[in-house]
Amino acid sequence: MKRLGILGSGKGSNFVAIAEAVRRKALPVEIVLVLSDVENAGILALAAKFGIPHRYVAPGKFRTKLEPDVEMEYARLLQEAGVDLVVLAGFMRVLKPLFLSLFENRVMNIHPSLLPSFPGLEAWKQALDYGAKCAGCTVHFVTPETDAGPIIQQAVVPIRVDDTAETLHVRIQKEEHRLYVETLRLWSEGRLRVEGRRVSIL
Ligand code: GRF
Protein backbone atom coordinates (compact mmCIF):
# COMPACT_ATOMS: atom_id res chain seq x y z
CA MET A 1 0.00 0.00 0.00
CA LYS A 2 1.22 3.51 -0.85
CA ARG A 3 2.29 5.69 2.04
CA LEU A 4 1.19 9.32 2.50
CA GLY A 5 2.79 12.05 4.57
CA ILE A 6 0.52 15.01 5.24
CA LEU A 7 1.66 18.58 5.99
CA GLY A 8 -0.76 21.12 7.44
CA SER A 9 -0.85 24.34 9.41
CA GLY A 10 -4.55 24.71 10.12
CA LYS A 11 -7.75 23.12 11.22
CA GLY A 12 -7.26 19.94 9.23
CA SER A 13 -10.63 19.39 7.58
CA ASN A 14 -9.02 18.02 4.41
CA PHE A 15 -6.88 15.72 6.54
CA VAL A 16 -10.05 14.41 8.20
CA ALA A 17 -11.73 13.77 4.84
CA ILE A 18 -8.66 11.78 3.73
CA ALA A 19 -8.26 9.91 7.03
CA GLU A 20 -11.96 8.99 7.09
CA ALA A 21 -11.79 7.69 3.53
CA VAL A 22 -8.78 5.58 4.51
CA ARG A 23 -10.62 4.28 7.58
CA ARG A 24 -13.70 3.22 5.62
CA LYS A 25 -11.38 1.60 3.04
CA ALA A 26 -12.47 3.93 0.24
CA LEU A 27 -8.86 5.03 -0.25
CA PRO A 28 -6.23 2.27 -0.33
CA VAL A 29 -3.31 4.14 1.22
CA GLU A 30 -1.71 4.45 4.63
CA ILE A 31 -1.19 7.85 6.28
CA VAL A 32 2.15 7.32 7.98
CA LEU A 33 3.01 10.81 9.22
CA VAL A 34 1.45 14.23 9.82
CA LEU A 35 3.78 17.20 10.23
CA SER A 36 2.87 20.76 11.18
CA ASP A 37 4.71 24.05 11.49
CA VAL A 38 2.08 25.28 13.97
CA GLU A 39 2.33 23.86 17.46
CA ASN A 40 -1.38 24.04 18.33
CA ALA A 41 -2.73 23.29 14.84
CA GLY A 42 -6.03 21.43 14.74
CA ILE A 43 -4.54 18.94 12.29
CA LEU A 44 -2.15 17.60 14.97
CA ALA A 45 -4.94 17.02 17.50
CA LEU A 46 -6.98 15.31 14.79
CA ALA A 47 -4.04 13.10 13.78
CA ALA A 48 -3.80 12.02 17.43
CA LYS A 49 -7.50 11.12 17.39
CA PHE A 50 -6.95 8.93 14.34
CA GLY A 51 -3.90 7.35 16.00
CA ILE A 52 -1.58 8.59 13.25
CA PRO A 53 2.04 9.53 14.05
CA HIS A 54 2.26 13.32 14.12
CA ARG A 55 4.77 15.94 15.02
CA TYR A 56 5.26 19.68 15.31
CA VAL A 57 8.50 20.85 13.74
CA ALA A 58 9.27 24.51 14.49
CA PRO A 59 9.59 26.41 11.19
CA GLY A 60 12.40 28.79 12.18
CA LYS A 61 12.61 32.51 11.73
CA PHE A 62 10.81 33.07 8.40
CA ARG A 63 7.11 33.73 7.95
CA THR A 64 6.28 32.23 4.55
CA LYS A 65 8.90 29.50 4.18
CA LEU A 66 10.79 27.03 6.36
CA GLU A 67 14.33 27.74 7.39
CA PRO A 68 16.59 25.68 5.05
CA ASP A 69 17.82 23.31 7.78
CA VAL A 70 14.29 22.80 8.99
CA GLU A 71 13.05 22.09 5.49
CA MET A 72 15.67 19.33 5.20
CA GLU A 73 14.49 17.99 8.56
CA TYR A 74 10.93 17.78 7.15
CA ALA A 75 12.32 15.94 4.11
CA ARG A 76 14.32 13.58 6.32
CA LEU A 77 11.33 12.72 8.50
CA LEU A 78 9.16 12.07 5.45
CA GLN A 79 11.81 9.90 3.80
CA GLU A 80 12.46 8.03 7.03
CA ALA A 81 8.75 7.26 7.21
CA GLY A 82 8.95 5.87 3.68
CA VAL A 83 6.47 8.36 2.26
CA ASP A 84 5.51 7.90 -1.42
CA LEU A 85 3.50 11.12 -1.66
CA VAL A 86 3.57 14.37 0.30
CA VAL A 87 0.06 15.78 0.63
CA LEU A 88 -0.26 19.46 1.48
CA ALA A 89 -3.49 20.07 3.36
CA GLY A 90 -3.49 23.73 4.32
CA PHE A 91 0.30 23.97 4.72
CA MET A 92 0.94 27.71 4.75
CA ARG A 93 4.61 27.80 3.74
CA VAL A 94 6.20 27.55 0.31
CA LEU A 95 8.47 24.58 -0.28
CA LYS A 96 11.79 25.27 -1.97
CA PRO A 97 13.31 23.58 -5.05
CA LEU A 98 15.69 21.38 -3.06
CA PHE A 99 12.84 19.83 -1.08
CA LEU A 100 10.72 19.48 -4.21
CA SER A 101 13.56 17.82 -6.13
CA LEU A 102 13.60 15.08 -3.49
CA PHE A 103 9.90 14.41 -4.17
CA GLU A 104 9.52 15.18 -7.86
CA ASN A 105 5.87 14.98 -8.94
CA ARG A 106 5.25 13.54 -5.50
CA VAL A 107 3.93 16.63 -3.70
CA MET A 108 0.25 17.47 -4.09
CA ASN A 109 -1.70 20.51 -2.96
CA ILE A 110 -5.30 21.68 -2.93
CA HIS A 111 -6.09 25.31 -3.60
CA PRO A 112 -9.50 26.97 -3.09
CA SER A 113 -9.91 28.48 -6.58
CA LEU A 114 -10.03 27.47 -10.22
CA LEU A 115 -6.33 28.00 -10.96
CA PRO A 116 -4.72 29.82 -12.67
CA SER A 117 -7.32 32.34 -11.44
CA PHE A 118 -6.82 33.63 -7.92
CA PRO A 119 -3.59 32.10 -6.62
CA GLY A 120 -2.49 33.15 -3.14
CA LEU A 121 -4.38 33.76 0.07
CA GLU A 122 -8.17 33.71 0.62
CA ALA A 123 -8.75 32.74 -2.99
CA TRP A 124 -12.51 32.25 -2.52
CA LYS A 125 -12.77 35.86 -1.31
CA GLN A 126 -10.72 37.05 -4.28
CA ALA A 127 -13.20 35.32 -6.64
CA LEU A 128 -16.19 36.81 -4.83
CA ASP A 129 -14.74 40.34 -4.74
CA TYR A 130 -13.78 40.08 -8.41
CA GLY A 131 -17.38 39.35 -9.34
CA ALA A 132 -16.65 35.92 -10.80
CA LYS A 133 -19.70 33.69 -11.33
CA CYS A 134 -17.83 30.49 -10.56
CA ALA A 135 -15.34 29.62 -7.86
CA GLY A 136 -14.02 26.18 -7.06
CA CYS A 137 -10.97 24.21 -6.10
CA THR A 138 -7.92 22.71 -7.79
CA VAL A 139 -5.71 19.74 -6.92
CA HIS A 140 -2.27 20.15 -8.45
CA PHE A 141 1.28 18.91 -8.23
CA VAL A 142 3.57 21.34 -6.44
CA THR A 143 6.40 23.09 -8.27
CA PRO A 144 8.58 25.95 -7.00
CA GLU A 145 6.17 28.59 -8.39
CA THR A 146 3.34 29.00 -5.89
CA ASP A 147 -0.03 27.55 -6.98
CA ALA A 148 1.26 27.02 -10.53
CA GLY A 149 2.11 23.31 -10.82
CA PRO A 150 0.41 20.85 -13.21
CA ILE A 151 -3.35 20.73 -12.58
CA ILE A 152 -4.70 17.27 -11.78
CA GLN A 153 -8.40 17.88 -11.12
CA GLN A 154 -10.76 20.81 -10.57
CA ALA A 155 -14.29 21.23 -9.26
CA VAL A 156 -16.55 24.19 -9.98
CA VAL A 157 -18.62 25.87 -7.26
CA PRO A 158 -21.12 28.42 -8.62
CA ILE A 159 -21.18 31.76 -6.79
CA ARG A 160 -24.65 32.75 -5.60
CA VAL A 161 -25.90 36.36 -5.48
CA ASP A 162 -26.34 36.21 -1.72
CA ASP A 163 -22.97 34.52 -1.02
CA THR A 164 -20.68 35.94 1.62
CA ALA A 165 -17.02 34.93 1.85
CA GLU A 166 -18.03 32.52 4.62
CA THR A 167 -20.92 30.78 2.84
CA LEU A 168 -18.86 30.41 -0.33
CA HIS A 169 -15.88 29.07 1.60
CA VAL A 170 -18.03 26.40 3.26
CA ARG A 171 -19.28 25.11 -0.13
CA ILE A 172 -15.77 25.16 -1.61
CA GLN A 173 -14.36 23.21 1.33
CA LYS A 174 -17.07 20.59 0.92
CA GLU A 175 -15.97 20.12 -2.69
CA GLU A 176 -12.30 20.09 -1.63
CA HIS A 177 -12.91 17.15 0.66
CA ARG A 178 -14.56 15.15 -2.12
CA LEU A 179 -12.04 16.16 -4.80
CA TYR A 180 -8.90 15.53 -2.75
CA VAL A 181 -10.01 12.01 -1.79
CA GLU A 182 -11.01 11.21 -5.37
CA THR A 183 -7.70 12.50 -6.74
CA LEU A 184 -5.69 10.57 -4.18
CA ARG A 185 -7.61 7.43 -5.08
CA LEU A 186 -6.69 7.91 -8.77
CA TRP A 187 -3.07 8.48 -7.77
CA SER A 188 -3.04 5.40 -5.51
CA GLU A 189 -4.33 3.31 -8.42
CA GLY A 190 -1.48 4.59 -10.61
CA ARG A 191 -3.96 6.32 -12.92
CA LEU A 192 -2.30 9.77 -13.16
CA ARG A 193 0.08 10.34 -16.04
CA VAL A 194 2.13 13.54 -16.04
CA GLU A 195 3.56 14.85 -19.32
CA GLY A 196 4.99 18.31 -18.82
CA ARG A 197 2.11 20.47 -17.59
CA ARG A 198 -0.56 18.04 -18.69
CA VAL A 199 -1.89 15.42 -16.35
CA SER A 200 -4.13 12.75 -17.82
CA ILE A 201 -6.29 10.32 -15.97
CA LEU A 202 -5.94 6.80 -17.30
C1 GRF B 1 -8.03 24.59 2.28
O2 GRF B 1 -9.06 25.50 2.00
C3 GRF B 1 -7.09 24.47 1.13
O4 GRF B 1 -7.67 24.79 -0.09
C5 GRF B 1 -6.01 25.46 1.44
O6 GRF B 1 -5.91 25.45 2.85
C7 GRF B 1 -7.17 25.09 3.42
C8 GRF B 1 -6.93 24.04 4.46
O9 GRF B 1 -8.07 23.78 5.20
N10 GRF B 1 -4.78 25.12 0.77
P11 GRF B 1 -8.11 22.57 6.21
O12 GRF B 1 -7.00 22.79 7.24
O13 GRF B 1 -7.91 21.31 5.43
O14 GRF B 1 -9.45 22.64 6.83
Query: DSSP letter at 57?
Result: -
18 Cα: distance to centroid of ligand 1 (angstroms): 12
**For residue range 47-90, what is the model confidence (pLDDT) as tens digits?**
999 999 999 999 999 999 999 999 999 999 999 999 999 999 99
Atom of ligand 1 nearest to the CA of 10: 12
* Measured distance CA(50)–CA(21) in Å, rounded: 12
Residue 150 pLDDT:
98
Atom of ligand 1 nearest to the CA of 42: 12
Residue 28 pLDDT:
97
Tell me if residue 54 is catalytic. Answer: no
What share of the chain has pLDDT > 90, as a percent?
Answer: 100
Residue 152 pLDDT:
98
| Domain regions of the chain by residue span | 1-104, 109-202
Residue 141 pLDDT:
98
15 Cα: distance to centroid of ligand 1 (angstroms): 9
Provide CATH code, domain 1-104: 3.40.50.170
Homologous superfamily of 109-202 in CATH?
Formyl transferase, N-terminal domain (3.40.50.170)
Which residue among the candidates 111, 140, 169, 177 is catalytic per the annotation? 111
Residue 6 pLDDT:
99
Atom of ligand 1 nearest to the CA of 12: 12
Residue 137 pLDDT:
98
Q: Which helix (H) or strand (E) covers residue 192, if one does?
A: strand 192-195
pLDDT class of 151 with cuts at 50, 70, 90: very high
Pocket test of ligand 1: the residue of 11, 13, 14, 88 to mutate, having most ligand atoms within 8 Å of its CB, is 14
DSSP string, 73-121: HHHHHHHHTT-SEEEESS--SBPPHHHHHHTTT-EEEEESS-TTSS-ST
Residue 198 pLDDT:
97
Same fold yes or no, 1-104 and 109-202: yes
Residue 62 pLDDT:
97
Ligand 1 site, residue 136, Cβ cutoff 6 A: no
Dihedral class, residue 31 (left if φ above 0, else alpha if ψ from -120 to 50, else beta): beta
Residue 38 pLDDT:
98
